[in-house]
Structures are given as C-alpha cells and as structure tokens.
Structure 1
Amino acid sequence: MDLIQLAHGSGGRMMHQLIKEFFVPAFDMRELGDSAVLKNTFSDRIAVTTDSYVVSPLFFPGGDIGRLSVCGTVNDLAVSGATPVYMTAGFIIEEGFPFDHLRRVLASMRSAAREAGVRIVAGDTKVVDRGKADGLFINTAGFGVVDEGLELSSSKVKPGDKVLLSGSMGNHGVAVMAERNGISFEPPLLSDVRPLNTLVRRMLERTDKIHMMRDPTRGGVATTLNEIASESGRCIVVQESAITITPGVRGACELLGLDPLYIANEGILIAVAEPSVAEELADEMRTTSEGVGAAIIGEVVEGPMGTVLLKTSVGGIRIVDMLSGDQLPRIC
C-alpha cells in the first residue's frame, strides 16, 4: 500500500529512496549534503524568518498545507521589506500518511515557490508513530535580502500616518473552518493564501514613505493592529465602513458568532504610510491582483497609547483589544 512507514524516517535505504523519489525532483535539489552553501550577491543585509505549519485539514478550498507553508514564509520576509530568495522545509510525517497526499503537497509547494520566485534549497524529513503527527507538519526557514537604506519598523510610525489594508479579510480562516466542519458555500469560499512579495515590491518602488508592513495571519487584522499600536506607543483609529468583508465570510461569522476582525488571513497585508502618499499608494496596490481590494482603513493618532479604536458603521466607537486565545485554532 502507498503509505508512509516508520522506516521511511529511519535514516536508511527507505528514507533515502523517499527523499530521492519525492523531495529531490519536487524542489530541483542538486546536492544532498548536510547543509546548502548559498551565494549572496544581492546585498549585505539578510532577513531570516522561521515558521511551522500544523493546519487542519491539510487540504482546504483554495490551498493546502504545502502552498500555505511557502506563501506564509515568503510573506513574512516580504512585509519586512526583504526580497525572498531561499527557503528550507522540514517535514514531520505520520506513519500511514498516503504517498498521493505527499505528492500533492510537494507539487503545491513547488508551484508556490515558482510563483514567488524563491528556491527551496534544503530540508529534513522525520517519520513518527501513527497518531503522533496528525498526518503532516511542515517547518520552514526563509532567507531574503533587504535593499540598502530600507527600514520598515514600528518605531517609525507617527501620528497622522494612514493605515492601508490590501484586500478583504477573513477568507482563509473561514475557508479552513468550513472545510473542517463540512460546511459549504455557494459560491465557494476560497482561502486567500498567496505570495505577496510582488505586491510589496510594487509598493516600495512607488514610494519610500512606507513606515511598516505586517501580514495579519493568526489573530487577524485586530491582533496585528494591536501589535502595531503597542510597539509604536500610538493609537490606531479604524473606520469599520472602509474594511471589506466578502458576503460569505460575513454570513459565516454571523452564523457562528465570530468577529471577522480576528479571523486569520494568508493573502493580505497591512501597511502604515505617510498621509501624503496614502492615496497614490492605494491606487498602485489596486493595479495588482494581490491588492485589487486595497483601501485606507484608518489613521494613527497620539493616544490613548497602545490602543486600537473602531469607528462603527452606526457612529459608535469601541475598543478593539487582543483576544486571550484564538477563535479558530489550527488554521496555519
């Protein structure tokens, strides 16, 4: 039967066969040493990130754990101002995992890496006992280069800055939740998982007055805005009417009692920029497929420090705080 066995992680012939038959062709690996020796001819400034992916289920509308692992890593580099170049990928595979599923995940990673222009250059594979890994976990590291003089930091955020959101929120979290619970939508609701490095590059080429960027993954837009407010010591005031939410996401959240502000995303970003360039930056973002729904959703004010305020559609104001936990666990 075409299933992963414990021997595939033993370090012996079966593991080497697994690597050569699956991982080497999937990622165009040329050598199989203990590390990859890489040449950096782009910049002396290198950005590094690492992440782990434990999404459940592994396959969901619009993506899977493979595409998610590549796009999530690429996006963490991109919103730091880096051009993603290299990735590593470590796989923890449960005994009994189907080879067909592994092929599908690897093909998805290969496709996403090509889309993002990043190379997967090293990795590791471990196989654990049946029931110990929920199918498949993936750990990644990403490496990118940062242009000289470019610095994106919450310390640069100041009163008057505008807050931009590149698209509609909540699609990824709701798509995963729906697949997990057997809920369907018409039309189908797809995850927004996609690489954002092309969008970020266009934004940075347009203006040097972007102060910082973040991708609102776990915890959603609300949590990311709170992180920015806390790190900068400023207050962020957001207009509820300016935030786009698809009907499917809004309906699902109303049905299940969830707040879309806290739902995870994997294909949008938040940017804080000087007010003089905010409108032209939003216009530039809308010329791309990744930023077609871009909008200015709020601004930075002096205080109260470390606070996010939401001006509601009915004219009220409420504090948007961090949740103590996650509304939807295991979504990335």
Structure 2
Amino acid sequence: MASGAEGIVLLDHGSGGRATHQLLREVFFEAFERSPELLDAALLEDLQGPLAFTTDSFVVSPLFFPGGDIGSLAVHGTANDLAMVGAEPLFLSCGFILEEGFSLRDLRKVVRSMAEAARALGIHIVCGDTKVVPRGKGDGLYLNTAGLGRLLRSPAPHPSRIRPGDRVLVSGPVGDHGLAVLAAREGLPLKGLRSDSAPVWPLVKPLLEVLGEDLHALRDPTRGGLATTINELAEESGTLIYLDEAAIPVRPEVRGGAEILGLDPLYLACEGRFVAVVSASRAAEALDLLRGLAGGEGAALIGEVREAASRPLVVLRTRVGGERILPVLTGEPLPRIC
C-alpha cells in the first residue's frame, strides 16, 4: 500500500480491488473496532423510537487546527446536531473523499481522532465509504457523515415552543472555533486561540432530564455564529429576542483577535457550544446546572424572549447602553471552517 516513507493515497485505493481492501483493513477497521465485513449496509439492532436522523459534510481548511481536526470535528458536529433536537447520538456513518497523493500518515491520524471522539461519546461508527479523486481535484480530504439518535423525551425541544418571557442561555464563550481555524489557515500570529470543538450531549442530557418540558429550544451556533443562530430562533418562533452584549461570554483572546481583524465575535462559529431557551421560572436552575458540569463552567444567561411588535427581530443592548438590531450574517467572511 505504501508509496514513499509513509505512503500516499493512490487512485488504486478507490478501485474497489486489492488496494481498497487493504486500505480498509489497515486504516479503518482497526481504528473503528469493526469486523472486516464488506456488507453493503450496516445491520442495526431493533431500535425503539422516536428517532432523529441527520447528515453533515466537512471541508474544513486546514485539516488540523488548534483544538481538533476534521475527524473529531465530524463526530462532534454530527453528534451535536442530534443533541439539538434532544436525541442521544447512537450510530454514525462516514464517507471519505480522498485526493490522490494525500498522506496515509495524515489519514491514519484523522481516522484515529474520529474513532477516539466516537468512543468518548459511546457512538458506534457502523458503516462508511471511501472514494479517491485525481490529484488536484479534492483538496486532500473531505468527510461526509450521517448520524442516528434516539429522542430522550417528548415533546422534543423545538423553536415552536418558544414563548415571550423565556430566557436565553449559552453554554460557554463564543467565537473560538471560527477564529482558531482562520488563524491556523492564514498563519496569523494570534496567541491563545483554540477551537471549542467538543460534544455537547453531556451537557444537554442533564438539562433534558432536569428541566423536562421547560427546556423549550436548543440550537448550536455554528456557521454564522451566535447572532445568526438567535435570528433563526426569533424567525422560527415569531418573537423578538433581546440580548445583553455585556452578558455574552467571549474569551479575551478571541475578542482581541477579532478586533485586530475587524470581525465581530458574535458572527464567529462555535463547534462545542449551544443556545438553550428555557422558561423564566427555571432559568436560574438551568444556569446553575450547566455551570456545575464539565464544559459548562462558562455558561451565561444572555437574553430574554419578548413579543414581536411587527416582525421577528433580535435586539442587542450594547456595552455602552444603546440598542441596535442584530441582523443575520451577510456573505461568507470565513469559508471552510467546518
């Protein structure tokens, strides 16, 4: 299989023949703890519903960045999408689009990282696919995933359940992932940046169990950041959401780096945070619960839901005491961050 000291991906690895089988055995099966069966589909045990199903693709550049890589990011991103509808992540599929010439050493690192992230969450990677495209056509590696999970309770968190008077919480500081990836890609000498890529189910599950129906909605602020995510919730619920800028947690390294680059941290992507909309009577309890869990120490109460006077809006009370409308992100200032 090897070509060179560590070996590279060859077009032959995508042929379906001997080289493909060798790649599967030596790179994927061992890492994912799967038996070397070449079935066309995964056979799952009888699952009791209701279930949640999601799919995602990952084209992040660079593939390795402070705090993670495309492999762990794919697991976290897919599992977090399931968690946002109150579903425990159970099974994952993965599709690898490999470019001819890609380092087999780096491929092994990505696969191991993916396997470790899945094991930490108790997720089973049950099926997958590999394709190889000619040199110059694939930018190294793209990943596609699909995830299956079981809803923990019904009704599931949903924006339609948001009501005026609800409170808005965020599980930790925002903007880390987007700025860390940008700095790594461009070689910017910004210190202290690290992606927040992490699974949120260990935080979401206790919230679901304790708050029950008082947990009204969940959303993860990935592309478009916190500002766009809150706008989505306002639009989908037909409400006005009022945020307090001073209450929104942003690490000093992120705030400083964003100021240097002329970026707003509220539009920078997160990959290990979530927004929770909860009933007013349980907001303090929810905040205390999150802050007492590993990974939720930086949680904050950042706003409240109000009646929309004319149309759904997000209004930000600024640090200097003024108010302004916080719009949806326009354009794509930071491509290839997930």
- Identify the TM-score tier after normalising by the shorter chain: over 0.9
> What residue number does 1:46 align with?
51
SS in structure 1 opposite 2:34? coil
- Separation in structure 2 between the aligned mates of residue 234 and residue 323 of structure 1, nearest angstrom: 19
Contact 1:3 1:98 in 2 (8 A): yes
* Residue 177 of structure 1 pairs with residue 182 of structure 2: yes
- Separation in structure 2 between the aligned mates of residue 221 and residue 5 of structure 1, nearest angstrom: 41
Amino acid at match of 1:306: P
Amino acid at match of 1:313: R
Encode CA deviations 1:134-192: one digit per residue, 9 max, x unaligned. 10000000000013423211111010000000000000001000001112333x31100
> What residue number does 1:202 align with?
206
> What residue number does 2:27 align with?
22
SS in structure 1 opposite 2:131? strand
Encode CA deviations 1:227-277: one digit per residue, 9 max, x unaligned. 000111101000001001111111111111001110000010000000000
> What residue number does 2:297 align with?
292
- Separation in structure 2 between the aligned mates of residue 89 and residue 327 of structure 1, nearest angstrom: 28
> What residue number does 1:107 align with?
112
* Residue 72 of structure 1 pairs with residue 77 of structure 2: yes
Contact 2:195 2:271 in 1 (8 A): yes
Q: Kindly tell me the number of residue pairs found equivalent between the two proteins.
A: 330
* Residue 313 of structure 1 pairs with residue 325 of structure 2: no
SS in structure 2 opposite 1:27? coil
Give every structure 1 segment of 4 or more consecutive aligned residues whose post-TM-superposition deviation is greater than 6 Å.
none
Using the size of structure 2 for normalisation, the TM-score is: 0.96
- Separation in structure 2 between the aligned mates of residue 54 and residue 18 of structure 1, nearest angstrom: 22
> What residue number does 1:325 align with?
331
- Separation in structure 1 between the aligned mates of residue 237 and residue 164 of structure 2, nearest angstrom: 10
Compared CA separation, residues 210 and 66, structure 1 to 2 (3 A):
same
> What residue number does 1:190 align with?
194
Contact 1:268 1:290 in 2 (8 A): no
Contact 2:220 2:273 in 1 (8 A): yes
Amino acid at match of 1:67: S
Contact 1:161 1:299 in 2 (8 A): yes
Amino acid at match of 1:127: V
Amino acid at match of 1:85: L
Amino acid at match of 1:84: P
List gaps (5 residues or longer) in structure 2. none
SS in structure 1 opposite 2:150? strand
- Separation in structure 2 between the aligned mates of residue 110 and residue 137 of structure 1, nearest angstrom: 17
Amino acid at match of 2:234: A
* Residue 163 of structure 1 pairs with residue 168 of structure 2: yes
- Separation in structure 1 between the aligned mates of residue 249 and residue 49 of structure 2, nearest angstrom: 39
> What residue number does 2:87 align with?
82
CA-based RMSD: 1.0
SS in structure 1 opposite 2:46? coil
Amino acid at match of 2:66: P
* Residue 126 of structure 1 pairs with residue 136 of structure 2: no
User: How big is the shift at 1:324?
Assistant: 2.4
SS in structure 2 opposite 1:34? coil
Matches within 5 A, 1:171-320: 171-186=176-191, 188-208=192-212, 209-304=214-309, 305-320=311-326
Contact 2:86 2:153 in 1 (8 A): no
Amino acid at match of 1:324: T
Amino acid at match of 2:324: R
User: How big is the shift at 1:117?
Assistant: 1.3
* Residue 92 of structure 1 pairs with residue 97 of structure 2: yes
- Separation in structure 2 between the aligned mates of residue 98 and residue 87 of structure 1, nearest angstrom: 24
- Separation in structure 1 between the aligned mates of residue 63 and residue 206 of structure 2, nearest angstrom: 32
- Separation in structure 2 between the aligned mates of residue 95 and residue 8 of structure 1, nearest angstrom: 9
Using the size of structure 1 for normalisation, the TM-score is: 0.98
Encode CA deviations 1:25-83: one digit per residue, 9 max, x unaligned. 11111232000010134x31010000000000000000000010000000000111000
Contact 1:115 1:195 in 2 (8 A): no
Amino acid at match of 1:95: E
List gaps (5 residues or longer) in structure 1. none
SS in structure 1 opposite 2:297? coil
User: How big is the shift at 1:291?
Assistant: 1.0
What percentage of aligned pairs have identical amino acids? 53
Amino acid at match of 1:120: I
SS in structure 1 opposite 2:90? strand
Amino acid at match of 2:196: D
Contact 1:161 1:272 in 2 (8 A): yes
